[in-house]
Amino acid sequence: MTVNQPFTPSNFHFNRQVLDCVIGGVSAIDTPRLNIHTRDEAKQFITAYGYDLDSPGDTELLWGIHRRAVALIQEQFLNEGENIPMDVADPTTLGDLSKLLILASSRLEAHHELQKWSCAVLRVMHVFVHLRNDLFSAFRDQIQASLLKPLQDAIVVDDIAGKSVLGPNEPRGGIQLHKFEIKPFKTTASSAIKLLARSERVALSLLDKIGVRFVTRSLFDSFRVVRFLVDQHLISYPHIIPDQSANTLYPINLFLEVMEELKAIEKRGEVVDDNVVREALMAHLAESKDQANYLEKLNEFSGPDYRFLKFINRKLVTVTIGEGGDKKPFSFFYPYEVQIVDVETYSRNMSGPMAHDAYKDRQRRKARARVLGEHLR
- Domains of the chain, by residue range, sit at 16-132, 135-250+294-371, 252-292
The vertex-234 CA angle with 344 and 343, nearest 5°, equals 5
Angle between helices 56-72 and 188-197 (to 10 degrees): 70
Q: Which residues are within 8 A (CB) of 14 and not within 5 positions of it... i.e. 6 or more apart?
A: none
CB 180 within 8 A of CB 215: yes
Q: 330 versus 206: which is more confidently predicted? A: 330
- For the ranges 7-11, 95-99, 302-306, the lowest mean pLDDT is seen at 302-306
- For the ranges 17-26, 133-142, 273-282, 355-364, the lowest mean pLDDT is seen at 355-364
**Side chain identity, residue 100:** L
Using pLDDT thresholds of 50, 70 and 90, give the confidence band for residue 301: low
pLDDT at 126 over 70: yes
pLDDT at 303 over 80: no
Distance CA 201, CA 79 (A): 25
Q: What is the mean pLDDT of residues 27-46?
A: 93
Q: What is the pLDDT of residue 15?
A: 87
Q: What is the mean pLDDT of residues 105-126?
A: 95
Q: How many CB atoms lie within 10 A of CB 262?
A: 17
pLDDT at 355 over 70: no
Using pLDDT thresholds of 50, 70 and 90, give the confidence band for residue 149: very high
pLDDT at 340 over 70: yes
Q: Which fold has domain 135-250+294-371?
A: Beta Polymerase; domain 2 (3.30.460)
338, exposed or middle or buried, with CB in 10 Å at 0-12, 13-18, 19+?
Answer: buried
Q: What is the mean pLDDT of residues 118-143?
A: 91
Distance CA 187, CA 335 (A): 17
What is the arrangement of strands in the sheet containing 163-166, beginning at the earlier edge strand? 155-158, 163-166, 175-182, 211-216, 328-342, 309-321, 246-247
Distance CA 365, CA 352 (A): 18
Q: 168 versus 353: which is more confidently predicted? A: 168
Q: What is the pLDDT of residue 256?
A: 95
Q: Helix/strand/coil (H, E, C) string of 219-272?
A: HHHHHHHHHHHHHCCCCCHHHECHHHCEECCCCHHHHHHHHHHHHHHHHCCCCC
77, exposed or middle or buried, with CB in 10 Å at 0-12, 13-18, 19+?
Answer: buried
Q: What is the pLDDT of residue 239?
A: 94
- For the ranges 102-106, 356-360, 362-366, the lowest mean pLDDT is seen at 356-360
Using pLDDT thresholds of 50, 70 and 90, give the confidence band for residue 1: very low
Task: Provide the CA 78 distance to its chain's centre, in angstroms.
Answer: 23
**Side chain identity, residue 183:** K
- For the ranges 1-15, 82-96, 142-156, 310-324, the lowest mean pLDDT is seen at 1-15
Q: What is the mean pLDDT of residues 77-97?
A: 95
- For the ranges 41-55, 164-178, 307-321, the lowest mean pLDDT is seen at 164-178
Distance CA 360, CA 213 (A): 18
Cross-strand pairs, 333:
316
Q: What is the mean pLDDT of residues 171-189?
A: 86
Q: What is the pLDDT of residue 131?
A: 87
Checking DSSP bridges between strand 328-342 and strand 211-216, what pairing results, if any?
parallel
Q: What is the mean pLDDT of residues 127-156?
A: 91
DSSP string, 27-62: -GGG-S-----SHHHHHHHHHHHT--TT-HHHHHHH
Q: What is the pLDDT of residue 376?
A: 61
